Chain A
Amino acid sequence: MSRPVFAALPTLVRRERASLAATLLAPPIALAVTIILNLGLYVVMGRDPAAVIYAMLIEPFYSWASFSEVLLKTGPLLLIAQGLAIGFRAKVFNIGAEGQFLLGAIFASAIPIWWPDATGQWIWPAMLLLGMIGGALWASLTAFWRVRLNANEILVSLMLSFVAAQLLNYLLLGPWKDPNGFNFPQSVMFQYDAMVPILFEGTRVNVSLILAGILSIAAWIFMQKSFVGYRLQVGGLAPRAASYAGFKESWAIWLSLLIGGAAAGLAGSAEVAGPLGQLQRSISTGYGYAAIIVAYLGGLHPIGIVISSIVMAALYIGGDNAMVSANLPIAAVRVFQGSLLLIYLIAVAFVRYRLAWRPAAIRSPS
């Protein structure tokens, strides 16, 4: 057989150990490359790059008013991503957080929709609790299917998200529709006590940001310091070793999905009890999917995820700004999200491997 002979071939060689600096540099470098590539795309589309840069990258941080909106979006992203990352580390790929978020919102809305006149300081905490239960219940379907029926959790959790969206539609067009809402698919506005407290006067930033912060600390302690977290990670890295050591896979799947579902459900309930104040069709702008990117971009590490969720939230706000001031379609945000994850995955490869130029002739068969 005649094969083309190259003088030297680029080969990836696994590093003995990944350097901390490379690990920390990968996400910002990926972000920078993504920004450059996407700006190129906007120029091709005939937009003014300076206007886009200003709207997307500077405006979100320029004033307290717009930065508080970034913090408002950070809450749900951070909550969902921290929950998902625990599962991803254990190789349980729950990508149905979108559905779990919707179920959280639906469960939480039951209280103000059924008892619109109830008053008392117990209402919003009860709603958040109910939201967590709703999200966890929805995720438990996936866990059951995976553990008892051996079905792939990626496909099941995603299918359940489509079902959840239809369930929301059904409720808003049928039994839960606001009778005085001019036929709009939305519920009644919630009463005052069904709203979560605002953190900073004059903004919409609410308690969910604090909850997300607490969950981040809890996730850090859980994954880095606790035996349960350690077992989960071992199960993800070396399933065989874990099962020899008596760590049960089914247990890891249940735990991962219930935590992920509860966190997403909490985010959903905080959204209806927070900035929205009612159940609407568009309660999520793809938070469940964006949080997957946030989790990976943060290196599946609780601290990294805090940073990446702020970046992703800023991207949402920046995208909204660019839609208004630079006439950029909002779909550009999705393109940005997708390309950011792709480029980050390449960047991570260079953390784990180094590029070596080997002469082709002496490549030894191994």
Chain B
Amino acid sequence: MNAIEFILAGMLAAATPFLLAALGELVVERAGVLNLGVEGLMAFGAVIAFIIVYHGGGHILAFVAAGLCGSLLSLIFAGIILGFNANQVATGLAIGILGQGLSALFGKSYESLTVKALPKITIPGLSEIPVVGGLFTQDIVVWLSLLVTVAIWATFAYAKVGLVIRAVGENPKAAHAIGYPVIAVRFAAVAFGGMMAGFAGAYASTIYTPLWADGMIAGRGWIAIALVVFGTWLTGRIFLGACLFGAVSLMGLAAQATGLDVPSQLLACLPYLVTIVVLGIISADRRLLKLNGVASLGEPFER
């Protein structure tokens, strides 16, 4: 297997934690809320899911519990910023620190243990195509997250609930005036984002690298937030961005496997460096950000 085949085969799985968390954050931001706690929500979901799978609860229960825990923790965030009009940046950071703390606390006695990942499902025929065949051998969660991506795209493009969320994010005063429950929509969006972050964490700790280690989320939650900016708040571009980051995070492994003489720390830096560079390139085009950006992002709504 050459490097390109290796990267293509693993890209979608590596992209899945980024994708799930970023799609959740997309919904949150479209509703006008900036939740910076994604890293902590993912870590919390990751440890809950790991503990359940480790004790034989199975992956379905693990994902449900991780999603619920992510939701619950993000509802604390929602309660503080929506109920008390607190600063969203500070509150998000606090939730992030709390989530990481809770994950380290609960995960203390599971440090460096491993569980069994899920089997991969192969699409017959397609997976035998040379070079790109690896794309069609994936675990069930990868396939499901592709479905979720399409569903979220369709919701924002065609469904009324998508329009309501956008209205609430663009102009909460107007949305309120025509009778939409701004606060309730924002609560729901934040809860959804928390659930997705919980799923993302669960995928990272029980399927992608089925082990628990403190700090294993390693900035993926932050990259997911950056992905929403990269994708200029558009579902399709966020998917492409997640694939790019999936590929970049595999590049380190591929380079080491081919015996390239580069310090491993430089390869470990790659996702962060790419984030910084891409963020600069995308943000420099202010029109692009304005075009699809959320007008009232991060601003509290006061009646």
Contact = CB atoms under 8 A, between A and B. Distances in A.
Nearest to A158: B222
B1 interface: no
A342 B76 contact: yes
Interface in B213-230: 214, 218-219, 222-223, 225-226, 229
Contacts of A339: 94, 98
Given A331-B105, A345-B94, A156 B276 contact: yes
A258 interface: no
A160 interface: yes
Interface class of chain A by DSSP: helix
Contact of A167 (B76, B95, B265): B265
A345 B280 contact: no
Contacts of B148: none
Given A12-B84, A155-B226, A174-B263, A342 B98 contact: yes
B194 to A, nearest CB: 15
Given A154-B89, A155-B229, A329-B108, A170 B276 contact: no
B84 A345 contact: yes
Contact of B98 (A156, A160, A338): A338
A307 B281 CA distance: 42
B100 interface: yes
Interface residues of B, number: 53
A343 B100 CA distance: 17
Given A154-B36, A349-B86, A335 B105 contact: yes
B303 interface: yes
A55 interface: no
Interface stretch (A69-77, A103-111, A143-151, A197-205): A143-151
B284 interface: yes
A331 B280 contact: no
A93 B89 contact: yes
A286 to B, nearest CB: 9
A342 B219 contact: no
A145 B97 CA distance: 25
A81 interface: no
Nearest to A41: B105
Interface in B256-286: 263, 265-266, 268-269, 272-273, 275-276, 279-281, 283-284, 286
Interface in A128-174: 145, 148-152, 154-156, 158-160, 162-163, 166-167, 169-170, 173-174
Given A331-B104, A331-B105, A341-B97, A346 B86 contact: yes
A156 B218 CA distance: 15
B264 to A, nearest CB: 9
Residue among B83, B96, B97, B219 having the largest count of chain A Cβ atoms under 10 Å: B97
A170 B86 contact: no
Contacts of B101: 331-338
A234 interface: no
Interface stretch (A215-223, A244-252, A268-276, A289-297): A289-297
A26 interface: no
A127 interface: no
Contacts of A332: 101, 105
B85 A353 contact: yes
Interface string B217-252: 011001101100100000000000000000000000
23 contacts: A1-B179, A14-B302, A149-B283, A154-B89, A155-B275, A159-B223, A159-B226, A160-B272, A162-B218, A163-B276, A170-B266, A173-B265, A293-B94, A329-B104, A329-B105, A335-B102, A335-B105, A338-B99, A339-B94, A342-B98, A345-B80, A345-B87, A346-B86
Interface of B: 36, 40, 76, 80, 83-87, 89-91, 93-102, 104-105, 108, 177, 179, 214, 218-219, 222-223, 225-226, 229, 263, 265-266, 268-269, 272-273, 275-276, 279-281, 283-284, 286, 289, 302-303
